[in-house]
């Protein structure tokens, strides 16, 4: 195939294509079985039973005690917002203290800011240099009036996995509830709500080969919760709105497929991920992996390419048909580089040269070989054109 026709998608942490088998499971509910799950005639009942079947399957796969602990939402962002705002405002309407990490997704950070505006106090806990939240740091930040701790499971930019079970234990010991954003981990590493001991968790369909526009929120029975959406009382009065039946059915199927082969897939992906890291750092000087400390997600390689702008690398790779992501400023439309990289102490000028390569179900070894063939010359060319590279990175900067 001509190099310019070749398409290599290496941005699975941003979104995934719908798996054909998932689409197949959704098709009846996008076509003939279009009933409203709340209608009493047979077309409605058919949709209802598919919805409840999806709920049961998901509940079972995450070890929930009861299917009603799963509510379907419109996306991971909604689940994050609902967890933070819904739990805190019902459990402690008069104010209180909340702990989140400083490298959460914006879907947690923005509602945390909103809580501050309403008079709550929020601690933004920094991860350690390795990219992990330390349990003792959470313990030290907990107060008697801490209402909720929300720490993400797998970080979407650098791939580190947080010690959620241990954090939940110290949170509960001080009477706080525990939420985790598991959008990046669900189906990729073992996820059991009782083993983790959490009260709430966020899931997103389009990160695991289901459709965009479907998410779920796990909410342990008895957890205080104020609905974000009010209306017809669907989803046990916790999330009004006519349910997205094809989305929910697809989410259940997608999770089954993830869990089915997650061990082999995890091994396959981590091997490819390490090939990316090793391939780039051995071919190019002044490049490092952002972190190599375990535990990490098997599918995310985060690299710091010194002296090059992330945006420039992204566009040059795009011209070769390769899709990747960067935590550089321009791509996010702000002047500050990625808050995640800054939170673990990466200097801004180096964070500007970050590259996230995230792999998934349809990534092949040939894709990685192609990337490793195309990428080094791009960096060398960009560096040779850079007026500051030589000055900034010394004589080793060839």
Ligand X SMILES: *Cc1c(COP(=O)(O)O)cnc(C)c1O
Min CB(175)–ligand X separation in Å: 26
Q: Contact letters (x/-) for ligand X, 17-56, by CB under 6 A?
A: ----------------------------------------
Question: What is the separation of C-alpha 40 from the centre of its chain, rounded to a whole number of angstroms?
Answer: 37
* Phi, psi for residue 298 in degrees, rounded to 5: -70, -15
- Give the SS3 label for residue 391: helix
Min CB(360)–ligand X separation in Å: 13
CA distance 367 to 7: 9
Residue 326 contacts residue 14 (beta carbons within 8 Å): no
Min CB(129)–ligand X separation in Å: 21
Min CB(184)–ligand X separation in Å: 5
Q: Which position has the token pair 């313990």?
A: 139
If one asks whether residue 215 binds ligand X (CB under 6 A), the answer comes out as yes
If one asks whether residue 287 binds ligand X (CB under 6 A), the answer comes out as no
Residue from 259, 330, 342, 372 carrying the catalytic annotation: 330
DSSP code of residue 82: I
Q: Which is nearer to ligand X, 17 or 44 (CB)?
A: 17
Residue 330 designated active-site: yes
Min CB(244)–ligand X separation in Å: 12
* Phi, psi for residue 160 in degrees, rounded to 5: -75, 150
Contact pick of 107, 125, 158, 216 for ligand X (by CB under 6 A) = 107
**DSSP sequence for 89-125:** HHH-TT--EEEEETTS-HHHHHHHHHHHHTT-EEEEE
- Give the SS3 label for residue 287: strand
If one asks whether residue 127 binds ligand X (CB under 6 A), the answer comes out as no
71-100 positions binding ligand X, by CB under 6 A: 75-77, 80
Residue 309 contacts residue 370 (beta carbons within 8 Å): no
Min CB(302)–ligand X separation in Å: 14
Secondary-structure percent of the chain, ordered helix, strand, coil, rounded to 5: 45, 15, 40
Contact pick of 69, 137, 181, 309 for ligand X (by CB under 6 A) = 181
Distances in Å between the Cα of 90 and the Cα atoms of 84, 147, 199, 200, 224 are 10, 10, 14, 14, 6
141-160 positions binding ligand X, by CB under 6 A: 152, 156
Q: Contact letters (x/-) for ligand X, 349-378, by CB under 6 A?
A: ------------------------------
Q: Which position has the token pair 């009260």?
A: 199
Q: Which stretch binds ligand X (CB under 6 A): 23-31, 70-78, 160-168, 347-355?
A: 70-78
Q: Which is nearer to ligand X, 200 or 308 (CB)?
A: 200
Q: Which is nearer to ligand X, 184 or 286 (CB)?
A: 184
Number of residues that bind ligand X (CB under 6 A): 15
Contact pick of 89, 204, 223, 326 for ligand X (by CB under 6 A) = 204
346-377 b/e with 16+ CB inside 10 Å = b? beeebbbbbbbbbbbbebeeebbebbbebbbe
- Give the SS3 label for residue 243: coil
* Phi, psi for residue 345 in degrees, rounded to 5: 85, 15
Q: Cβ atoms within 10 A of the Cβ of 396, count?
A: 7
Residue nearest ligand X, Cβ-based: 76
Question: What is the separation of C-alpha 79 from the centre of its chain, rounded to a whole number of angstroms?
Answer: 12
Min CB(213)–ligand X separation in Å: 8
If one asks whether residue 207 binds ligand X (CB under 6 A), the answer comes out as yes
Q: Which stretch binds ligand X (CB under 6 A): 201-209, 227-235, 263-271, 342-350?
A: 201-209
If one asks whether residue 11 binds ligand X (CB under 6 A), the answer comes out as no
Q: Which is nearer to ligand X, 161 or 378 (CB)?
A: 161
Active site positions, annotated = 330
Binding footprint of ligand X on the chain (CB under 6 A): 75-77, 80, 105, 107, 152, 156, 181, 183-184, 204, 206-207, 215
């Amino acid at each position: 195939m001509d190099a310019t026709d070749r398409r290599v998608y290496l941005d699975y942490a941003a979104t995934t294509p719908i798996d054909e088998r998932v689409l197949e499971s959704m098709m009846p509910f996008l076509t003939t079985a279009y009933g409203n799950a709340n209608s009493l005639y047979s077309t409605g009942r058919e949709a209802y039973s598919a919805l409840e079947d999806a709920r049961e399957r998901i509940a079972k796969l995450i070890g929930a005690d009861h299917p009603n602990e799963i509510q379907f939402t419109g996306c991971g962002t909604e689940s994050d917002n609902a967890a933070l705002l819904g739990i805190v405002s019902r459990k402690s309407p008069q104010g209180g203290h909340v702990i989140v990490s400083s490298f959460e997704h914006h879907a947690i950070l923005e509602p945390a800011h909103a809580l501050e505006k309403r008079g709550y106090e929020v601690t933004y806990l920094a991860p350690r240099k390795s990219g992990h939240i330390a349990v003792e740091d959470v313990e030290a930040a907990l107060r008697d009036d801490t209402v909720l701790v929300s720490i993400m499971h797998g970080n979407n930019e650098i791939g580190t996995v947080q010690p959620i079970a241990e954090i939940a234990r110290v949170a509960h010991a001080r009477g706080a509830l525990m939420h985790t954003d598991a959008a990046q981990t669900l189906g990729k590493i073992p996820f059991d709500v009782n083993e983790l001991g959490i009260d709430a968790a966020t899931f997103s369909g389009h990160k695991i080969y289901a459709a965009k526009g479907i998410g779920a929120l796990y909410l342990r029975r008895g957890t205080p919760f104020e609905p974000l959406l009010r209306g017809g009382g669907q989803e046990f009065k916790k999330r009004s709105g006519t349910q997205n039946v094809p989305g929910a059915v697809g989410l259940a199927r997608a999770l089954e497929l993830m869990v089915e082969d997650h061990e082999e897939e995890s091994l396959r992906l981590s091997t490819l991920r390490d090939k990316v890291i090793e391939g780039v750092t051995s071919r190019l000087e002044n490049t490092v992996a952002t972190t190599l400390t375990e535990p990490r997600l098997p599918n995310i390689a985060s690299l710091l390419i010194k002296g090059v702008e992330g945006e420039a690398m992204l566009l040059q790779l795009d011209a070769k048909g390769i899709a990747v992501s960067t935590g550089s400023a321009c791509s996010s439309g702000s002047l500050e580089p990625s808050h995640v990289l800054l939170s673990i102490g990466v200097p801004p000028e180096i964070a500007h040269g970050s590259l996230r390569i995230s792999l998934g179900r349809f990534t092949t070894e040939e894709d990685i070989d192609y990337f490793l063939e195309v990428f080094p010359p791009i960096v060398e060319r960009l560096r040779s054109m850079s007026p500051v590279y030589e000055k900034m990175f010394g004589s080793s900067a060839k």
